[in-house]
Structure 1
Amino acid sequence: NGAVDVEAALEALEESGGLVEIWRIRRELETLIVKLAVDKAAPEDYASLKRALLKIQRAAEMGDVDEYLEANGQFHLSIAQAAKNPFLKRGLLPLLEITHYQLEQEISPRYLQDHAGELFKKHQTLAEAITNKSLGTAMNAILDHFVASEEVFLGRGKGGDHRENR
């Protein structure tokens, strides 16, 4: 029927080291996107980031994984929109889709609730740096975001089992 078993595809990526590569590519691409967003973002972009931030906060506090993933995707796409480069935004879409599905498999409502403040703060720091056109802070924030994400998604560093009580 031509349908792709996404879970099987993710397992194959993980076994081949492909997921690590996807995260590496996404980190590099989003670093470039953030750099451009700091320079090119306009007031409507700040408003879009703020809306996505509020959704992230609300979803994390409620432990609503689906809503959190949607808001997180909106946040990252809002940054890409602020960069004013449609090619970079288009390049980010499939990477977000793969990592979105992976996150869906890896985190639980309880994990979201337990880490709501920390998750919100990381996104807020990045949004504020873009709004304030603070390149150094924005670069540190996006790299910090990826270090934390890789702990969850790739099982690097601390964190334990994020699927508890799923």
Structure 2
Amino acid sequence: MDGSEKPPRGSAAHRVEAALLEEIAAGGIAAGERLDETRLAERFGVSRTPIREALSRLAAQGVLESGEGRGMRVAQYSREELAQMFEAMHEIEALCARLASQRLTLLARSQIEVAQAECKAAAEAGDLPRYLRANEEFHLSIYRAIENPYIFEIAADFRRRTGPFRAKKFADAGDLVASAESHDDLLEKIFSANSNIAAEGMRQHMAASFLRVLAAN
């Protein structure tokens, strides 16, 4: 199987790929960190074949890159590359906020609010790994609200690639609380049903995040 062929949903390769994607996006695996096939096989209780398939898929998506020898590592980016990625991410996130404000259903709003409640709970507990997972779900729930799978995948791809870098911006529990509180202001603008206000709110949110990421990297 090459990187262009997606493993069947429910297969060992799909399960490994999904788990690693979530961990990388939440910053649980750092940029530049090497992934060992043998250890991954032991961790997931599978042979090395589905591990190789999953790693090949992640490399095709730009999440992983070739390391020393034949190994794979989480992709690393220069400050210039990060700046370029965040420039694109900045506009895509603003578009998602704009469309979400126009298309928001009661169900979508409820899902966003549940994700935000989890962000607050994790922040108050000072639990960084939990907060990173909740923060990912918060943004993904906004993407889902627009009900456009093509835009969703583009936005989610940038979050996957920048996850290890965004995780570094949280230095202490105070940063988690401040981030969760900034979500409240953003949601007020998205829930206002004014698409221009929603887009500008997301731009401000992403600009502040971008500055912290560059400072931490």
TM-score normalised by the chain length of structure 1? 0.80
- Secondary structure in structure 1 of the residue aligned to 2:147: coil
User: Are 2:74 and 1:14 aligned?
Assistant: no
Residue by residue over 1:39-94, the C-alpha shift from the partner in whole angstroms, topping out at 9 and shown as x without a partner, is 11100011011011111111122221111111111111111111111100011122
Aligned counterparts of 1:78 and 1:29: Cα–Cα separation in 2 = 15
Aligned counterparts of 1:86 and 1:137: Cα–Cα separation in 2 = 24
Partner of 2:113: 50
Unaligned runs of 5+ in 2: 1-36, 38-69
- Secondary structure in structure 1 of the residue aligned to 2:120: helix
Report the more deviating stretch, 91-100 or 43-52. 91-100
Aligned counterparts of 1:117 and 1:19: Cα–Cα separation in 2 = 25
For the pair shown, the structure with the greater C-alpha radius of gyration is: 2
Letter of the 1:114 counterpart: G
Q: Higher RCO, 1 or 2 (CA under 8 Å, sep at least 6)?
A: 1
User: Are 2:130 and 1:70 aligned?
Assistant: no
State the Cα distance separating 1:3 from its structure 2 match: 4.3
Partner of 2:56: none
Partner of 1:145: 205
User: Are 2:174 and 1:114 aligned?
Assistant: yes
Letter of the 2:203 counterpart: L
Q: Are residues 107 and 43 of structure 1, via their aligned partners in 2, closer, same or farther at CA, if it must alter by over 3 Å?
A: same
Contact 2:98 2:196 in 1 (8 A): no
Q: Are residues 90 and 62 of structure 1, via their aligned partners in 2, closer, same or farther at CA, if it must alter by over 3 Å?
A: same
Q: Decide which of 86, 92, 98 is 1:29's aligned counterpart.
A: 92
Q: In angstroms, what is the RMSD of aligned CA positions? A: 2.0
Contact 2:95 2:199 in 1 (8 A): no
Letter of the 2:72 counterpart: V
State the Cα distance separating 1:31 from its structure 2 match: 1.0
Letter of the 2:193 counterpart: K
Contact 1:66 1:104 in 2 (8 A): no
Aligned counterparts of 1:106 and 1:147: Cα–Cα separation in 2 = 13
Question: Whose helix proportion is higher, 1 or 2?
Answer: 1
Q: Are residues 105 and 117 of structure 1, via their aligned partners in 2, closer, same or farther at CA, if it must alter by over 3 Å?
A: closer
State the Cα distance separating 1:138 from its structure 2 match: 1.3
- Secondary structure in structure 2 of the residue aligned to 1:132: coil
Q: Which runs of 4+ in 1 moved over 4 A?
A: none
Partner of 1:158: none
Aligned counterparts of 2:190 and 2:169: Cα–Cα separation in 1 = 29
